[in-house]
A = this chain, B = another copy of it.
């Protein structure tokens, strides 16, 4: 009798944890991803600010499952689901399944303004991080060559849109790059003159945090030189500026470097799956699932992670954070094992292990249960937790060294400008004269 074949779509936190948790189950697993590596996204902003290299936070999927013979890794792009014949359709083939776990994650939401993406890139993949790094460093280079103060100022203005943990961490790291890491490296400009503006539409940054803690976080950012603008909406993004609206006041901020850290939209595979299974989607495109994370009417199809719309005990949707994906991936693996054993299965229950966000060198905000921490201790705790969850021993060693290094110095080892595209201009500025 053939072993049950479980196909997992997505090699992020949800998919990898599901596959790893099936290690001892009498099943065959195929993990499909269109990239060859698992990315530790919580540390991605550190690649964007030159503190880590991509390889420090990414693990080739094959290496993760090298010693797990019941897992096969396939590099491929999923284009559809044939639910009748039980096959996952790829751009160049198909993979049959007995059970399907869709963990395709989420991307960024530009709220209908997708054309903003070119000038306000998101921070989701290694390429995103490297592009942001390139733009940030190039901005300082362009400022150094600026012919007049207004041009210099525009190049030394950085806008981060979105005041959740990603935006906050990005802003803090950027402030540190400008005020510390690049100090003394320029002659015509003082990098510490850089203005970093963090734009948040709600009334406070870190809205999922205790308000008092979030306030302390905002104060820490301001102290580092970040200008925090809450209750400000972005209404336009161009290669030269960002337009903010606060109540009736409209402000045009001249800038050439914008990072998008606001709004999450589920992977397009959510819609593809919904059409194939008659499932429903929420406003962000996430698939509404049963308490056991299965798709209604399809007890052999599950959705976990950012792609799933699940509720906590008080009926609120769970956030799209790594912890949720990790726990859901493990849950589904356990559910499948229980089924094989004929044991009853309980609904998924999320156990929050707290939230933490790094504000800059040696400051972080942490809330775990009723514990609230801000400052150096929180900063160390932040590193410890992130290290624990980082896959791969080599990665942990390198990142541990970076943690130690950054405790003693302001130096950032990976402040390189590398080009994505050979046809880009040699000097990494923007071809302003050709863009409207």
**A interface residue numbers (CB < 8 A to B):** 34-37, 50, 53-56, 58, 60, 62-63, 65-67, 72-77, 91-93, 126-127, 130, 137-138, 141, 144-145, 182, 184-187, 394-395, 397-398, 401, 405, 411, 413-422, 426-428
In the complex, which residue of chain B has the Cβ closest to the Cβ of A141? B75
In the complex, A60 Cα to B182 Cα: how many Å? 10
Q: Closest Cβ of chain B: how far from A118's Cβ, in Å?
A: 11
Could you list 8 further interchain pairs (A-B, Cβ under 8 angstroms) beyond the known A75-B145, A395-B413?
A: A35-B417, A36-B417, A55-B416, A58-B416, A60-B185, A63-B185, A75-B427, A398-B401
Which residues does chain B contribute within 8 Å of A421, judged by CB atoms?
420-421
In the complex, A395 Cα to B417 Cα: how many Å? 16
Copies in the complex: 2
A185 touches B66 (CB 8 A): yes
Which residues does chain B contribute within 8 Å of A91, judged by CB atoms?
426-427
Which residues does chain B contribute within 8 Å of A66, judged by CB atoms?
184-185
Q: Closest Cβ of chain B: how far from A425's Cβ, in Å?
A: 8
Q: Which of B54, B62, B145 contacts A182 (CB 8 A)?
A: B62
Task: Give 11 pairs: A residue, B residue, CB < 8 Å, sorted on A.
Answer: A36-B415, A36-B417, A53-B53, A53-B414, A67-B184, A73-B185, A76-B145, A76-B427, A77-B427, A127-B418, A394-B411
In the complex, A351 Cα to B369 Cα: how many Å? 67
Q: Closest Cβ of chain B: how far from A63's Cβ, in Å?
A: 6
B418 touches A186 (CB 8 A): no
User: Majority SS of interface residues in chain A?
Assistant: loop
Which residues does chain B contribute within 8 Å of A184, judged by CB atoms?
66-67
Which residues does chain B contribute within 8 Å of A50, judged by CB atoms?
55
In the complex, A401 Cα to B397 Cα: how many Å? 10
Which 6 pairs between the two chains have the least Cβ-Cβ distance? A55-B414, A62-B185, A53-B53, A36-B417, A75-B141, A77-B426
B426 touches A413 (CB 8 A): no
Tell me which of A398, A416, A421 has the highest count of chain B C-beta atoms within 10 A of its own C-beta. A416
In the complex, A126 Cα to B130 Cα: how many Å? 13
Which residues does chain B contribute within 8 Å of A397, judged by CB atoms?
401
Which residues does chain B contribute within 8 Å of A58, judged by CB atoms?
416
Contacts A36-B141, A54-B53 given: A126-B416 contact, CB under 8 Å?
yes
B127 touches A422 (CB 8 A): yes
Q: Closest Cβ of chain B: how far from A176's Cβ, in Å?
A: 15
B60 touches A416 (CB 8 A): yes
In the complex, which residue of chain B has the Cβ closest to the Cβ of A55? B414
Contacts A91-B427, A145-B74, A397-B401 given: A415-B54 contact, CB under 8 Å?
no
Which residues does chain B contribute within 8 Å of A405, judged by CB atoms?
394
Which residues does chain B contribute within 8 Å of A73, judged by CB atoms?
185
In the complex, A58 Cα to B394 Cα: how many Å? 20
In the complex, which residue of chain B has the Cβ closest to the Cβ of A130? B418
Q: Closest Cβ of chain B: how far from A35's Cβ, in Å?
A: 7
In the complex, A267 Cα to B75 Cα: how many Å? 39
Which residues does chain B contribute within 8 Å of A65, judged by CB atoms?
185
Q: Closest Cβ of chain B: how far from A246's Cβ, in Å?
A: 33
Which residues does chain B contribute within 8 Å of A415, judged by CB atoms?
36, 60, 63
Tell me which of A60, A67, A130, A398 has the highest count of chain B C-beta atoms within 10 A of its own C-beta. A60
Contacts A75-B427, A394-B411 given: A36-B401 contact, CB under 8 Å?
no
Q: Closest Cβ of chain B: how far from A230's Cβ, in Å?
A: 32
Tell me which of A36, A398, A415, A428 has the highest count of chain B C-beta atoms within 10 A of its own C-beta. A36
